[in-house]
Chains A and B, each alone.
Chain A
Amino acid sequence: GQNIDQPTEMTATEGAIVQINCTYQTSGFNGLFWYQQHAGEAPTFLSYNVLDGLEEKGRFSSFLSRSKGYSYLLLKELQMKDSASYLCASRGYSSASKIIFGSGTRLSIRP
């Protein structure tokens, strides 16, 4: 089976840096995703890690350690519009495998 854990809520200050952690247990692993979801909207893709290490994309970076079953999403220079839920998700081995989501971390940015 697949199990994904991430904190329920986090708060951070505008302009600061925040790290959202995710741990996962999967039977057959083929990648770790991070999605952003604003209230009332669909999830949108942020990043994908299949190999160990850090992937940087503008203000957002994502890290993966397969041996530890651990990932984090790092958001820099936080803006008010970054207030959203951040969903960690993993995929099984086959390209047609299901993508399983964690319960999401609701991030609130304060001025």
Chain B
Amino acid sequence: DTAVSQTPKYLVTQMGNDKSIKCEQNLGHDTMYWYKQDSKKFLKIMFSYNNKELIINETVPNRFSPKSPDKAHLNLHINSLELGDSAVYFCASSGRAEPEAFFGQGTRLTVV
């Protein structure tokens, strides 16, 4: 009964490749997020979607393109991967009844 699930958990790829990370939540939440946690453990917001609409884009390079086919899914596609993209990417969701964000287990992306 995973509330927020993201796949894959680990992703190792070469520079220049294109990759996607998928996220799904079964909590009925309206808002979904992508966060990036770098090696210094700083958790930084990248995008936020509310009811499939993009509401926050924190000056993320346009190589990163989120897509929300419905309010239960928020996928992240990354083009032309760079070494600096190596990090753990967390998907999260929140709803009106529960103000806190619930996080997926994270995807550790390593670009070599």
Binding site for B on A (CB under 8 A): 30-31, 33, 37, 41-45, 48, 50, 85, 87, 91, 95-96, 98-101, 103-104, 106
Contacts and interface: CB of A to CB of B under 8 A. Distances in A.
Contacts, number: 57
28 contacts: A33-B99, A33-B100, A33-B101, A41-B106, A42-B90, A42-B103, A42-B104, A42-B106, A44-B103, A48-B100, A50-B99, A87-B43, A96-B30, A96-B31, A96-B50, A96-B55, A98-B45, A98-B56, A99-B33, A99-B45, A99-B94, A101-B42, A101-B44, A103-B41, A103-B42, A104-B42, A104-B43, A106-B41
Interface size, B (range)? 20 to 34
B56 to A, nearest CB: 5
Interface string B1-44: 00000000000000000000000000000110101000011111
A16 B42 CA distance: 27
A96 B48 contact: yes
B40 A42 contact: no
A43 B90 contact: yes
Query: Top 5 A-B pairs ranked by shortest CB distance?
Result: A42-B103, A96-B50, A101-B43, A45-B100, A103-B42
